[in-house]
Amino acid sequence: MFVRTTICPLESIIMRIDPSNSKFWSGGIVLIVIGLSLILFSNASSDRKLINEVVEIEKVIELPPEAHKLENYDRYYAEDGGENAHAIVGIFRFNSSGKGKVFVVSHTSLPAVFDGGCNVIHLRYSKSRNQFESIQCNGEG
């Protein structure tokens, strides 16, 4: 299961709507609907591409020998480098329920973990070379 987490800045748009303005109701509502659609779906194709890349990565990934099974981790993936990203980074956190999930997030939304051994795994995958640059357990605190 993939979960896309995005924070959409709708508050600033909604706060400026003045329902007493007749111009708003005559044509402004259409512009707002179009604008909201663009905000919500502008990243849809790049998100779909990243999700497809993550699916392929998970088919071939080999975790370190000390690690748990892949499905036991909550796996957070993001592109590294913005729109012209050349790498995918991942942070895996052990989920003791054995039912880990996959999250596609922005790079700034990746979890920051400073220890944990193989309960936390860092991954970096080169998109241009189609290979893993690193897959390693986190350090111990």
> pLDDT for 83-92, tens place per residue?
567 899 999 9
Q: Determine the Cα–Cα distance for residues 119 and 93; give it in Å rounded to an integer.
A: 6
Residue 34 falls inside a structural domain = no
pLDDT at 22 over 70: no
Q: Which amino acid is at 119?
A: N
pLDDT given at position 82: 60
Pairing type for strands 87-94 and 73-80 reads antiparallel
pLDDT given at position 14: 35
Least confident piece of the model among 7-16, 24-33, 37-46: 7-16
Residue 23 falls inside a structural domain = no
Average pLDDT, the chain: 75
C-alpha count within 13 angstroms, C-beta hemisphere, residue 87: 12
The larger pLDDT score, comparing residue 53 to residue 47, is at 53
Instruction: Please name the helix (run of DSSP H) or strand (run of DSSP E) that holds residue 137, with its range, or none.
Output: strand 131-137
Residue 7 falls inside a structural domain = no
Residue 6 falls inside a structural domain = no
The larger pLDDT score, comparing residue 84 to residue 3, is at 84
Residue 33 falls inside a structural domain = no
Give the chain's domain count: 1
pLDDT at 136 over 50: yes
Residue 70 falls inside a structural domain = yes
Q: Which domain holds residue 66?
A: 46-137
Residue 129 has which token pair?
A: 């070379």
Residue 54 has which token pair?
A: 């993550």
Short-list 81, 62, 67, CA closest to 138: 67
Residue 9 falls inside a structural domain = no
Residue 10 falls inside a structural domain = no
pTM for the full model?
A: 0.67
